[in-house]
């Protein structure tokens, strides 16, 4: 008996769309269902609108710098509704492209929430559909501690605030928290950030974290480090929030943003009825080929809680399509993945932090450079760029490349190729610099 489809993908985000598209291009009969908007977290309420907000927010600094370059610019003001409308238009355009790509590849594009009903069965809009294989690509959803009460928005809502808050308080010290702290500061809001560790960005190299903390302070963001939120109530005039911290201090704000992590989106998905094993956090457990304990069911992207980054989900989706329909069994390796944090200035990292390299047993040699880039020096800004190489002393291999400074995400993408190829410090040293750039510092660091 032939089933309705060879592959049924649940979730039209980065991973699901890539998997469905490639599988369809291989000739598989593919259907993909999405309950909200095509493009998923990254396109609709994540990386893409966030980056647009970063661009909008960076203009403040650009205008300030312009004066140093001899420009006379009148009073610069930012209009949130104007930006929001343009942003929404762009997101709608991109979301449309995602749907179009799928249709062009020959996939059946279905709107609605699909639920697993068995190893080869899903239910969508009251209809039962069968498939040889099912892929769970439902992503993640913002999560926050049970004990912090109501009154928070998450990163889902932050893209649709009706007005720009005068004052925003952000709870968390991860990617979302530090990126939005800078975004709102740049747009003109007063920003408080509260995180429980002494520094933001746990897991990043300690010196990178140090520079990120300097950047938060430089942007005028009020940092409450080593603190937690103990209580949260409505503001005195019946609007806004008052956060009470564990030391009893209070922060009044118009908007309180919880940026305390994300959890896999597996609730009410029917995985239990199909017998798919999940972790206590709800992440779908998969092997190196993204297969669950049920042989016909697979999972990719944030829902597996491996490395929760868009390009990783895309890689996993592509690898799965290659494995199932391209006759190319492909594993995804989750090491050496470069990452960027779009703080202002941004962070770019590939490979191991100094502490992680030491913990992994390497005899580590470190090269670092802290300097005021030409542009900043010229306009009288004193913020510095930080670069660091973590080297294995015996093999000279570059274990980690770290940067906080303008264009770090762009630069780190290229450095990641070198690290992936197994570059040594000597390879970096014999590379001739491109001058005048900031990136050249990576090939000029000497002991």
Q: Return the active site residues.
A: 435
Nearer to ligand NDP, 195 or 384 (CB): 195
Asked if residue 202 binds ligand NDP (CB under 6 A), the reply is yes
Sheet containing strand 398-404, edge to edge, reads 339-341, 347-351, 398-404, 385-392, 364-371
Q: Map residues 242-281 to x or -, x wherever contact with ligand NDP holds by CB under 6 A.
A: -----------------xxxx-------------------
Task: For residues 99 and 20, give the distance between their C-alpha atoms in angstroms, rounded to a whole number.
Answer: 11
Residue 34 dihedral angles phi and psi, to the nearest 5° = -140, 130
Task: For residues 360 and 349, give the distance between their C-alpha atoms in angstroms, rounded to a whole number.
Answer: 18
Nearer to ligand NDP, 57 or 260 (CB): 260
Spatial CA neighbour of 445 closest among 392, 371, 382: 371
Asked if residue 309 binds ligand NDP (CB under 6 A), the reply is yes
Closest residue (Cβ) to ligand NDP? 174
Of 159, 175, 184, 386, the residue at the interface with ligand NDP (CB under 6 A) is 175
Residues contacting 69, CB < 8 A, separation 6+: 378, 379
Q: Map residues 333-372 to x or -, x wherever contact with ligand NDP holds by CB under 6 A.
A: ------xxxx------------------------------
Nearer to ligand NDP, 144 or 428 (CB): 144
Report how many residues bind ligand NDP under the rule CB under 6 A: 23
CA distances from 439 to 33, 369, 387, 398 (A): 43, 11, 9, 16
- CB of 173: closest distance to ligand NDP in angstroms? 3
- CB of 68: closest distance to ligand NDP in angstroms? 29
- CB of 148: closest distance to ligand NDP in angstroms? 7
CB under 6 A: which stretch of 95-103, 171-179, 278-286, 289-297 binds ligand NDP? 171-179
Structure tokens, 310: 């868009």
Nearer to ligand NDP, 212 or 309 (CB): 309
Nearer to ligand NDP, 330 or 339 (CB): 339
CA distances from 68 to 61, 77, 378 (A): 11, 19, 7
Spatial CA neighbour of 156 closest among 44, 14, 57: 44
Residues contacting 50, CB < 8 A, separation 6+: 159, 179, 180, 183, 342
Binding-site ranges for ligand NDP (CB under 6 A): 145, 172-177, 179, 195-197, 202, 228, 259-262, 308-309, 339-342
């Amino acid at each position: 008996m032939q089933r309705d489809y060879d592959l049924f993908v649940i979730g039209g985000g980065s991973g699901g769309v890539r998997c469905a598209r490639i599988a369809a291009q291989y000739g598989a009969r593919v259907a993909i269902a999405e309950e909200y908007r095509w493009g998923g977290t990254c396109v609709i309420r994540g990386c893409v609108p966030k980056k647009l907000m970063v661009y909008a927010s960076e203009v403040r600094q650009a205008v300030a710098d312009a004066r140093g370059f001899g420009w006379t610019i009148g009073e610069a003001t930012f209009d949130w509704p104007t930006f929001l409308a343009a942003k929404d238009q762009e997101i709608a355009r991109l979301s449309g492209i995602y749907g179009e790509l799928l249709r062009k590849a020959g996939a059946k594009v279905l709107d609605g929430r699909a639920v697993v009903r068995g190893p080869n069965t899903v239910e969508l809009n009251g209809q039962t559909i069968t498939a040889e294989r099912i892929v769970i690509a439902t992503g993640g959803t913002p999560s926050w501690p049970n004990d912090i009460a109501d009154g928070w928005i998450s990163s889902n809502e932050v893209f649709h605030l009706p007005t720009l808050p005068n004052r925003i308080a952000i709870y968390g010290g991860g990617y979302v928290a530090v990126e939005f702290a800078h975004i709102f500061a740049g747009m003109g809001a007063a920003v408080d950030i509260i995180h429980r560790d002494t520094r933001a960005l746990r897991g990043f190299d300690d010196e990178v974290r140090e520079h990120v903390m300097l950047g938060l302070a430089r942007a005028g963001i009020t940092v409450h480090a080593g603190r937690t939120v103990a209580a949260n109530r409505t503001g005195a005039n019946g609007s806004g929030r008052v956060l009470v911290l564990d030391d009893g201090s209070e922060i009044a704000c118009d908007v309180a943003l919880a940026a305390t992590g994300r959890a896999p989106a597996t609730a009410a998905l029917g995985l239990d009825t199909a017998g798919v094993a999940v972790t206590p956090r709800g992440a779908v457990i998969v092997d190196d080929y993204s297969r669950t304990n049920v042989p016909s069911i697979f999972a990719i992207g944030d829902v597996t809680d491996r490395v929760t980054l868009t390009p990783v989900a895309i890689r996993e989706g592509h690898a799965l399509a290659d494995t199932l329909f391209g006759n190319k069994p492909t594993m995804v390796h989750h090491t050496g993945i470069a990452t960027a944090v779009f703080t202002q200035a941004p962070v770019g990292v590939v490979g191991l932090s100094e502490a992680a390299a030491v913990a992994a047993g390497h005899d580590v040699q470190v090269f670092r450079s802290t300097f005021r880039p030409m542009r900043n020096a010229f306009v009288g800004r004193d913020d510095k760029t930080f670069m660091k190489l973590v080297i294995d002393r015996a093999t000279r291999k570059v274990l980690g490349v770290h940067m906080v400074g303008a264009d770090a995400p762009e630069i780190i993408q290229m450095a990641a190729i070198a690290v992936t190829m197994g570059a040594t410090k000597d390879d970096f040293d014999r590379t001739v610099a491109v001058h005048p750039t900031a990136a050249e510092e990576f090939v000029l660091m000497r002991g």
